[in-house]
Structure 1
């Protein structure tokens, strides 16, 4: 069976840590792919909010 796991963080290093922690839990041969995206919203007061997301595609037994 093929599954996906999604991650969403406000800081890229937090996302990196979460993805790396998850990858430790699956076998290397079960890993298929990672998709990465960044979203940003600019607010009226010039503040920017970032959203870093990753989708891991992997196989399960």
Structure 2
């Protein structure tokens, strides 16, 4: 059975940590694909909010 695990973080390093922690417990042969996405959301001020997300597609 194919499953997914989705991660969503405000900082790139947090996403990297969470993904690596999850992947550490997963057999490499079960990984189908890993997707990565960044979204930048403009704020009213001069700042932007970033959203870093990743999705691991794997076999259960």
Which category of TM-score, normalised to the shorter sequence, fits these structures?
over 0.9
What residue number does 2:54 align with?
Answer: 54
**Which 4+ runs in 1 deviate beyond 3 A?**
none
Report the Cα offset of residue 44 of structure 1.
1.4
Partner residue in 2 for 1:8: 8
Give me the CA root mean square deviation.
0.5
Aligned length: 60
Unaligned runs of 5+ in 2: none
Match of 2:41 in 1: 41
1:8-44 CA distances to partner (integer Å, 9 max, x unpaired)? 0000000000000000111010011101000011111
Aligned residue number for residue 28 of structure 2? 28
Using structure 1 for the length normalisation, give the TM-score. Answer: 0.95
Give the distance between the partners of 1:44 and 1:27, measured in 2 at CA.
Answer: 44
